[in-house]
Chains A and B, each alone.
Chain A
Amino acid sequence: MTRPRFDNPTEDPVAARIALTLIAVLFIGLFLLLPLVVVFSQALSTGFAAARAAILEPDALSAVRLTLITAAIAVPLNMVFGVSAAWAVAKFDFRGKSVLTTLIDLPFSVSPVVAGLIYVLVFGLQGWLGPWLRAHDIKIIFALPGIVLATIFVTFPFVARELIPLMTDQGRDEEEAAVSLGATGLQTFFRVTLPNVKWGLLYGVLLCNARAMGEFGAVSVVSGHIRGLTDTMPLHVEVLYNDYQYVGAFAVASLLALLALVTLALKSLLEWRYADEIAAVHRH
């Protein structure tokens, strides 16, 4: 006796499944994988030695150094800002909270070029503080401080945005429990609040770092493009590309792409390694 066959009620027809999968694979391949492959293949088009030479050239090395220094300053600062802002927004009620939330999102909605221009208008030679800064021999625009400021502005929301929903979701119960058990504010923060969001924080910091190293628009406005001095990696790629030095441009671009890949790999590795603990923190 053959049993009657029923379609699984939660399953789509085979044709639809294949079509959707194909579209997804094609899209990812065309718009994400192919460009990545092109970057690396262009960089290596005249051999590994040429790419290596392009990266070890002094201006390129200086760009790498500047990018690393900028990220090393901007990311920890944004980590502190982001955690403080998320903590205030998620755990406390106060006047102007929605204003603060909107301000945190501002860098996402403002074009990075505008962000850069703001700093030029404030700190530039013709800007509000320009004369005073010049009188005191402080250089901000067309120098490292300006690049760091612009980067901080653009990458500000990453950590806070990652943490606010997480912290709001977790509520204030555990903090209240900690206080009733005798913990001080600092003990509560470092032993209860922070450990509960450490994975979200790590993810936010990784994203923040990736963007800090890759930021182009805002940095381009404040940097002044002084080769070997105020060119970061993304700016250096553009300079090389405009000079028709394709191998060099793509070699430095590969380095940037590699940074992104390492970031993603690191995140996946951590998630895989600590899966149990992450699940424990997120479950109620």
Chain B
Amino acid sequence: MSLVIDSIVKSFGRFPALKGVSFTVPQGALVALLGPSGSGKTTLLRILGGLEAPDSGDVRFADLNWLSVPARERRAGFVFQHYALFRHMTVAQNIAFGPSVRPRRERPSRADIARRVEELLDLVQLPGLGGRYPSQLSGGQRQRVALARALAIEPRMLLLDEPFGALDAKVRKDLRGWLRSLQERLGITTVFVTHDQDEAFAIADLVAVMNAGAIEQYGTPQDVMRAPRTPFVADFLESGSNRLDA
């Protein structure tokens, strides 16, 4: 049940965002899409989530022609860069949103949903905060609510767009270790976008280095670090993670 991405092409007007991207993510792996802004990594993530349609190419996942599955039926847990929490709903209502919009016959009972929300709040280490509104939470807490909301739909894959981008350095380090162990425990195939190589190398099983709509190198963090395959990858690693391209 691996995720196979095959020759994805996408342009916005005359701007080519993805120029034929292919790679395979093994079942349960955590893959980082690493690259500068404008390299097409977020576009690829949005295509996997069904928020954008490619011009051509194929994606297969779980024996499905993934691209022909409508976004709302994919059960791809998407965590947005700025979390996109529903601001008029409490934390608990946010997390309950996915289960409560299911068709009536598949919908869990109210009590089941409430129980599930409590479990997820415990899982993301925010017990007792279900009654708060997103505006009353810190950045790190919102992040974890967004993750809990995505997990509530029992996702088949997790898609994280710069999941730690808006957090300060200390919180970022704590959260990424926590996220990694959680992902390992749940065993959900996960793709996450980042421009921070430290982050990518610290937690990913596989790293896809992207530049200008193409994959420059795809391999384990060790391989990429030890043997950059193109001048771009070497430069990108060289220039360090403190670049101001966020």
Residues in A lying within 8 Å of B, measured CB to CB: 173-174, 176-184, 187, 191-192, 195-196, 198, 277, 279-281, 283-284
Task: Determine if A178 and B97 form an interchain contact, defined as CB atoms under 8 angstroms apart.
Answer: yes
Q: What is the distance, in angstroms, from A176's C-beta to the closest C-beta of chain B?
A: 5
The answer to whether A182 and B153 touch (CB under 8 A), given A191-B101, A279-B135, is: yes
Pick from A177, A196, A283: contact of B80, CB below 8 A. A177
Are B88 and A181 closer than 8 Å at their CB atoms?
Answer: no
CB within 8 Å for A280 and B78 given contacts A176-B84, A177-B84, A182-B102? no
Given contacts A174-B86, A180-B50, A180-B74, 14 further A-B contacts (CB under 8 A): A174-B84, A177-B78, A177-B149, A178-B97, A179-B50, A180-B51, A181-B97, A181-B101, A183-B97, A196-B86, A198-B88, A280-B135, A281-B88, A284-B82
Q: Decide: A182 near B73, CB < 8 A? Known: A173-B82, A177-B78.
A: yes
- Minimal Cβ-Cβ distance residue in A for B46: A176
Give B82 Cβ to nearest chain A Cβ, in Å: 6
Partner of A277, one of B49, B74, B88: B88
Instruction: Check if A173 sits within 8 Å of B80, measured CB to CB.
Output: yes
Closest to A198 in B: B88
Please determine whether A182 and B75 come into contact, CB atoms closer than 8 angstroms.
yes
Min CB gap B51→A, angstroms: 5
19 A-B contacts (beta carbon < 8 Å): A176-B78, A176-B80, A177-B78, A177-B85, A180-B50, A180-B78, A180-B150, A181-B150, A181-B152, A182-B73, A182-B75, A182-B101, A182-B102, A182-B153, A192-B86, A277-B88, A279-B135, A280-B88, A284-B135
Which chain B residues lie closer than 8 Å to A173 at the CB level? 80, 82, 84
A275 vs B75: C-alpha distance when bound (angstroms):
36
Complexed CA–CA distance, A277 and B135 (Å): 10
Beta-carbon contact of A179 and B72 below 8 Å: yes
Smallest Cβ-Cβ distance to B89: which chain A residue: A195
**How many Å from the CB of A12 to the closest CB on chain B?**
34
B101 with A180: CB separation less than 8 A: no
Does B129 have its Cβ within 8 Å of any Cβ on chain A? no
Question: CB-defined interface of B5-36 with A at 8 Å, one 1/0 digit per residue?
Answer: 00000000000000000000000000000000
Q: Which residues of B contact A182 (CB under 8 A)?
A: 72-73, 75, 98, 101-102, 153
Ranked nearest first, the 8 interchain pairs of A and B with the lowest CB-CB distance are: A173-B84, A181-B98, A177-B84, A180-B78, A183-B101, A283-B135, A280-B133, A195-B88
Chain A residues whose CB sits within 8 angstroms of the CB of B50 once the complex forms: 179-180
Assembled-state Cα–Cα distance A51/B135 (Å): 52
Report how far A192 CA is from B89 CA in the complex, Å: 9
Dominant secondary structure at the A interface: helix
Chain B, range 20-73, C-beta contacts under 8 Å to A:
49-51, 71-73
Judge if B76 is at the interface, Cβ distance under 8 Å. yes
B243, CB-defined interface residue at 8 Å: no
A179 to B74, CA, bound (A): 10
A214 to B28, CA, bound (A): 65
Contact in complex: B149, A181 (CB < 8 Å)? yes
Interface centre among B75, B78, B86 (most CB of A within 10 A): B86
B87 contact set on A, CB distance < 8 A: 174, 196, 280-281, 283-284
List, in ascending order, chain B residues with CB within 8 A of A176's CB.
51, 78, 80, 84
- Which of B72, B88, B153 has a CB less than 8 Å from the CB of A196? B88
User: When chains A and B are docked, how far (Å) is the Cα of A284 from the Cα of B136?
Assistant: 10
Contact of A180 among B72, B89, B134, B136 (CB under 8 A): B72
With a CB–CB cut-off of 8 A, which chain A residues contact B102?
182
Residue among A181, A191, A195, A279 making CB contact with B153, cutoff 8 Å? A181
Q: Which residue of B lies closest to A278 (CB)?
A: B88
Mark each residue of chain B from 150 to 162: 1 if its CB lies under 8 Å from any CB of chain A, else 0. Answer: 1011000000000
Residues of B within 8 A of A277 (CB): 88
Decide: A177 and B153 in contact? CB cutoff 8 A: no
Measured in the bound complex, the distance between the Cα atoms of B133 and A178 in whole Å is 17
Contacts of B152 in A (CB 8 A): 181
Is B101 a contact partner of A184 (Cβ separation < 8 A)? yes
| Distance from A260 Cβ to chain B, minimum over Cβ atoms (Å) | 29
The minimal Cβ–Cβ distance linking A117 to chain B, given in whole angstroms, is: 43
Interface residues of B in 80-131 (CB under 8 A from A): 80, 82, 84-89, 97-98, 101-102
Chain A residues with Cβ below 8 Å from B86 are 174, 177-178, 191-192, 196
Report B168 CB to chain A, min CB distance, Å.
17
CB neighbours of A196 from chain B (8 A): 86-88
- List, in ascending order, chain B residues with CB within 8 A of A280's CB: 87-88, 133-136
Q: Which residues of the partner chain A approach B88 to less than 8 Å between Cβ atoms?
A: 195-196, 198, 277, 280-281
